[in-house]
Amino acid sequence: MRRCHKCQRPLPPGSSFYQLKVMLQQGFDGVIKLSKGTDLASLLKKIDDQTAGVPEHLLEGEVHREFLFWLCPRCKEKYCANPLNLPLDKSQVPQNVSDLED
Ligand SMILES: [Zn+2]
């Protein structure tokens, strides 16, 4: 049976669930920094030498990854509230309910 990848809650046929597709790709801003005495051709040769014999799927994994997860509705809400799982800023958490009324 399908289960939520986050909380393992069963997701029986016909139940509501969400597909989370994550694509991670290396960024490139168009700038190549060359160290002194290095030109583009020697940089490319250096990269070729460093990657020689490394399987293609491992090289591709360094620049592009994709993930697919199933989430139950509760885990979808939690994910959407903080997709990068950043630490919550304690200064923004109200100490009392009356703090919410400002
Ligand atoms: Zn879940």
Residue ranges per structural domain of the chain: 1-26+56-84
**What is the reported pTM?**
0.69
Distance 74 CA to ligand 1 centre (A): 6
Distance 83 CA to ligand 1 centre (A): 14
- The whole-angstrom separation of Cα 38 and Cα 71 is 49
Assess contact for 90 and 99: CB atoms under 8 A: no
Distance 25 CA to ligand 1 centre (A): 26
Distance 19 CA to ligand 1 centre (A): 12
Distance 5 CA to ligand 1 centre (A): 7
Return per-residue pLDDT of the chain as tens, 102 residues: 999 999 999 999 999 999 999 999 999 999 988 888 889 899 899 889 999 999 999 998 889 999 999 999 999 999 999 999 999 876 666 666 676 655
Q: What share of the chain is helix, strand, coil (3-state, %, to 5)?
A: 35, 20, 45
Token code pair at residue 33: 């920094």
What count of residues does the chain have? 102
Token code pair at residue 56: 């293609």
